[in-house]
Homo-oligomer: A and B are copies of this chain.
Amino acid sequence: MATTSPYRTFIQDISASSTGEVLLRGWVYRLRVLGKTSFIILRDCSGVAQCVAATEAVQDYRLKVEDVVEVRGVARADRRSKVGFEIHILTLRMLNRAGQVLPFRSADNVEGIGLETLLHFRPLALRTESVGDVFRIQAALLSCFRDALNRRRFTEIVTSKIVSGGTEGGSNLFEIKYFERVAYLAQSPQFYKEQSVAGFERVYETGHVYRAEPHASSRHLTEYYSLDVEFGFIEGPEDVIQLERELLTDIFQSLNSRHGETLSKYRGEPLPSMLEAPCWEFSSCLEMLRSNYGRTDLVDDLDPEGERQLCELAKRESGFPALFVLGFPLSARPFYTAPRGAEGAASSFDLLFQGIEITTGGQRLHRREDLEAALLSRSIDPTTFESHLEMFELGMPPHGGFAIGLERLTCQVLNLPNVRQAVLYPRDRDRLTP
C-alpha cells in the first residue's frame, strides 16, 4: 500500500530485520530518562515503538508526552522488546508541541476519568486505547454491516434528512427554518426505504436520524446513527427476523475473528451466534413477566426493566441473553405496520440484546387501500400522506425491514453503560457542543 508521504514509515511496517533508515511520525506516548539514555515511546496510527537516544542529544527539545514529533532512525533487533526491535534515533524534529497542562494522558487508564472530561477532550480521549477501541469497533461494525448486506444483493441508498413532515404523526420533530418554509429533521428513513424497495427490492442505509427527545437518559440521544434495512417479497415478519439473525451472526463472527483481542477486554465471552435467538410472542412475554417477576403493570409495550427481565429469561432458556419479541399491539405501533392475525397484534418486533432493545422492525402494509384504512382508523386524514401513498401504486412488493441503533449496538457489544460513550460528539437535551 502506497503511503502518501514517500519517506514516512508506519511503525507496524518495521520489523527486527528492517534495514536502512526509517522516518517515523507520531505522538510521544511515554518518556523515560535513565541517566545518559532517553527512551521515547512513539505512537502512530499503526502501533507503538520504543525509540532510543543519548539524553544529551534530545534534551534540548524539552519533550513532553503528547508532543508531535518526527524521528529519523534505524531499527535494531532487541530481544527485550515485545515487537523485537527498537529505533535508534538519528535526528528528531518537533512537529507540534502539546500544551503544558493536559487533563489526562493518552497512556493513562481512563477508567477513573469522568465521561464529561472524555467528551470535552475528544481528540485526547480517542488517542487512549480504551476510548479509541470503542470507535474502532464501531467502525468495524459499520463495515461488517454493509459487507454482509452487499453480499446479500442489497443496494446502499442515501436519502434526505430534511423532510416536510414526520413518518409517525409529528411528535418529537426538530424544526428547521427552510428558506420561507418550515421543514423537519427526519426521524427515520422509513418512507424512503420502503419506496426504494419498490425500485431496488433490497436496500439499506446508514445515516443519522433525529428525535427531539425531551429526556436525557443513559440510552437516549437526539441524534443517532441508524442502520436501516428494508426488503421486498417477504412472507411475513419471520423472514425479517431471520435476516436480522443471519446478519448479526455474520457481523459478530467477523468481529470475533478480526477483533477478538479487543473484544476480550470488554466482554467475557465472544459475541454469540444469533441464529438460535428465540422469538417470543408479545402476549407470552407479558405472561412470563407476570409469572416470573410479578409484573402486572405492562400493557401495550415493554419498559427498560421488562427488557432486562426478558433477556434474563432468554438466557435461562437458550443460553444467551437475546430474544425477538413479536406481535406488539398494533395500536402501539406506527400506522404502516402490518397486522398479525385478527386479534389486534402487529407484525412488528423488537430485538432485545443483553437487556436492551437495539432494533425495531416488522412487516409493513404494502397495499394503498390498507394504508388508507389504517390511517383512517387512527383518525389521520390520508391526504396528509398522499405523496407517500401514491408510491404504493407503482408496483410495491410485500416488504419489511428493521433498524439497528449503531450506538446502542456498540454499547451492547462492548458492555458500555452509557450510550454517550459510543458517540464521538453526542447530542442530547442539554448538549450541543463540542
Q: What residues of chain A have their CB less than 8 Å away from a CB belonging to chain B?
A: 1-5, 8, 10, 25-27, 44-46, 66-68, 70, 95-96, 98-99, 102, 106, 121-127, 132, 135-136, 138-139, 142-143, 146, 150-153, 155-164, 174-179, 181, 183, 185, 192, 195-202, 207-208, 210, 212, 214, 222-223, 225, 231-235, 239-240, 242-243, 246, 366-367, 387-388, 391, 393-398, 406, 423-427, 429, 432-434
Q: For the complex, what is the distance from the CA of A2 to the CA of B151, rounded to whole Å?
A: 10
Q: Quick check: B156 and A45 within 8 Å, CB to CB?
A: no
For A95, A160, A195, A391, the residue with the greatest tally of chain B CB atoms inside 10 Å of its CB is A160
Q: Quick check: A139 and B164 within 8 Å, CB to CB?
A: no
Contacting residues, chain B, for A70 (C-beta < 8 A)? 233
Q: For the complex, what is the distance from the CA of A432 to the CA of B129, rounded to whole Å?
A: 44
Contacting residues, chain B, for A127 (C-beta < 8 A)? 198-200, 395
Question: Known contacts being A95-B397, A123-B196, A432-B164, is A159 close to B387, with CB within 8 Å?
Answer: no
Contacting residues, chain B, for A234 (C-beta < 8 A)? 4-5
Cβ distance A431 to chain B, nearest Cβ, rounded Å:
10
Which residue of B is nearest A165, CB measured? B433
Contacting residues, chain B, for A146 (C-beta < 8 A)? 143, 146
Cβ distance A43 to chain B, nearest Cβ, rounded Å:
9
21 chain-A/chain-B pairs, Cβ below 8 angstroms = A1-B152, A25-B232, A25-B397, A27-B395, A95-B398, A96-B395, A96-B397, A98-B393, A122-B196, A125-B199, A126-B198, A126-B200, A135-B155, A135-B200, A139-B155, A143-B156, A162-B427, A177-B177, A178-B432, A192-B424, A196-B424
Q: Quick check: B135 and A157 within 8 Å, CB to CB?
A: yes
Cβ distance A11 to chain B, nearest Cβ, rounded Å:
11
Q: For the complex, what is the distance from the CA of A5 to the CA of B234, rounded to whole Å?
A: 7
Q: Quick check: A199 and B156 within 8 Å, CB to CB?
A: no
Q: Quick check: B5 and A233 within 8 Å, CB to CB?
A: yes
Cβ distance A101 to chain B, nearest Cβ, rounded Å:
9
Q: Quick check: A223 and B160 within 8 Å, CB to CB?
A: yes
Kindly report how many copies of this chain are found in the complex they form together: 2
Contacting residues, chain B, for A202 (C-beta < 8 A)? 45
* Contact of A246 (CB < 8 Å), options: B2, B366, B429: B2
Which residue of B is nearest A123, CB measured? B198
Q: Quick check: B123 and A199 within 8 Å, CB to CB?
A: yes
Cβ distance A158 to chain B, nearest Cβ, rounded Å:
5
Q: For the complex, what is the distance from the CA of A169 to the CA of B35, rounded to whole Å?
A: 51
Question: Known contacts being A4-B239, A146-B143, A394-B102, is A158 close to B424, with CB within 8 Å?
Answer: yes
Question: Known contacts being A157-B424, A433-B164, is A151 close to B195, with CB within 8 Å?
Answer: no
Q: Quick check: A391 and B122 within 8 Å, CB to CB?
A: yes
Q: Quick check: A157 and B139 within 8 Å, CB to CB?
A: yes
Q: Quick check: A223 and B161 within 8 Å, CB to CB?
A: yes
* Contact of A156 (CB < 8 Å), options: B122, B139, B433: B139
Q: Quick check: A178 and B183 within 8 Å, CB to CB?
A: no
Contacting residues, chain B, for A388 (C-beta < 8 A)? 434
Question: Known contacts being A146-B143, A208-B161, is A394 close to B124, with CB within 8 Å?
Answer: yes
Q: Quick check: A160 and B398 within 8 Å, CB to CB?
A: no
Cβ distance A91 to chain B, nearest Cβ, rounded Å:
16
Q: Quick check: B66 and A394 within 8 Å, CB to CB?
A: yes
Cβ distance A364 to chain B, nearest Cβ, rounded Å:
12
Contacting residues, chain B, for A160 (C-beta < 8 A)? 223, 423-427
